[in-house]
Amino acid sequence: MRILDIRERSLPISRYAGPARQGALTTSVVAIITDVVKAGRPIVGYGYASVGRYAQSGLIRERFAPRLLQAPAETLIGDDGNLDPFKAWQAMMTGEKPGGHGERCVAIGALDTALWDIAAKAAELPLHAHLTGRLGAVSAETNKVRVYASGGYRHPRDDLSLLADEMRRFADLGFFNAKMKIGSAGLDQDLRRIEVAVAALGAPGRLAVDAMNAYDRSAGLEAATKLSPLGLWWFEDICDPLDFETQSALASAYTPPIGAGEALFSAAEARLLARHGGLRPDRDVLLFDPVHCYGLPGYLQIVEAATLEGWARQAFWPHGGHLFGLHLAAALGLGGAEVTPFAFQPFCGLADDSVIADGYVTLPQAEGIGFETNTALKMLFRELAG
């Protein structure tokens, strides 16, 4: 198996469901085309750079895709004669220095996703089943995964009514837990928004809140004081992700569960968070995004680093609402995964035939990651691949 071509495109994405409400974000979509033909079509691996950051077109086109295309083909092949994503990852990382995680990790993660799509398709297995065999069985349950619905961005008009409607729609779809955003409207308004969301979901323990790293020490402590009695599921991304001193102080002031890690991208940063962030392995959750963390090889390093610091795998909930993260949650025995049912179109939702019940979703059974089981993504990726 050889790589014939790698194609990348930058696309705008929105935090809102309506196409008129663009959130000024972008993401990179990639297609890696191989020389192996099945059913009259080449095996093509698809990936995208998750959500919440920006497209990595320059890094992909000028730095990492050329390394894959220029590497001797035999250096990328595994024992089964197909592309080995671990070997391809090493080729992409050739010559890279320590540090500099904030951008290149996303570019590599997008390509790594597509490489794992190829590997699972070549093995004629859904990715979670392929990984269970490749990495060794971790989870006894790989038919369904616990999930939560993410959204709750503040709307410029009719915010409270639209928020309540969104939370009710999450519940109607079969989600038990949901997450909304805070930190941009002022604490009094955020408390009102939380009240509305809790009423729509039915209980405070079903709602997590995400401050998107907005608070400094004083604002974070004030929020922790006001939110502590509410019984929320978790309080996420409170302060600057690298301000471990403030993170530790806020963890001391907020007894209920805290979520952290979404804006950290390496095993070195994960170790710093575990050692100096004041988090509690018995209740807190780790939200690292596998695609933003150099793909699966980098994510596995983070899981290993955290478990060595006393964390259970069940504390991990991959960020991003990405089908890739759903497969990893199943194969690695993680706590669950995020889903964005409406935001970031077309990178939202799950497979067209997914069944959500009591907060669990059935896994795609198509070969590979299963992007083609989502009609909007299928059209997008097929157009990219030609």
Catalytic residues: 181, 319
The long-range contacts involving 140-143, CB below 8 angstroms and separated by at least 24 positions, are 141/330, 142/330, 142/331, 142/363, 143/362, 143/363
Question: CB of 339 within 8 A of CB of 349?
Answer: yes
Residue with tokens 């974070």, as numbered in its chain: 220
Question: CB of 152 within 8 A of CB of 180?
Answer: yes
Question: CB of 250 within 8 A of CB of 239?
Answer: yes
Closest C-alpha to 177, from 237, 264, 236, 247: 236
Q: Pull the structure tokens for residue 26.
A: 């972008």
Closest C-alpha to 224, from 215, 36, 8: 215
CB atoms within 10 A of CB 239: 24
Name the E strands within 151-195: 178-181
* DSSP element (H, E) containing 124: none
Q: Please give the radius of gyration of the chain, using alpha carbons only, rounded to the nearest integer.
A: 20
Q: Which residues make Cβ contacts (< 8 Å) with residue 247, sequence separation at least 6? A: 238, 239, 260, 273, 276, 277, 278, 279
Q: Pull the structure tokens for residue 292.
A: 């933003």
- Expressed in angstroms, the distance from the first to the final Cα of the chain is 19
- Geometric angle at alpha carbon 81, from 77 and 86, rounded to 5°: 35
CA distances to 103, 130, 239, 241, 259 from 245, in Å? 24, 41, 10, 10, 16
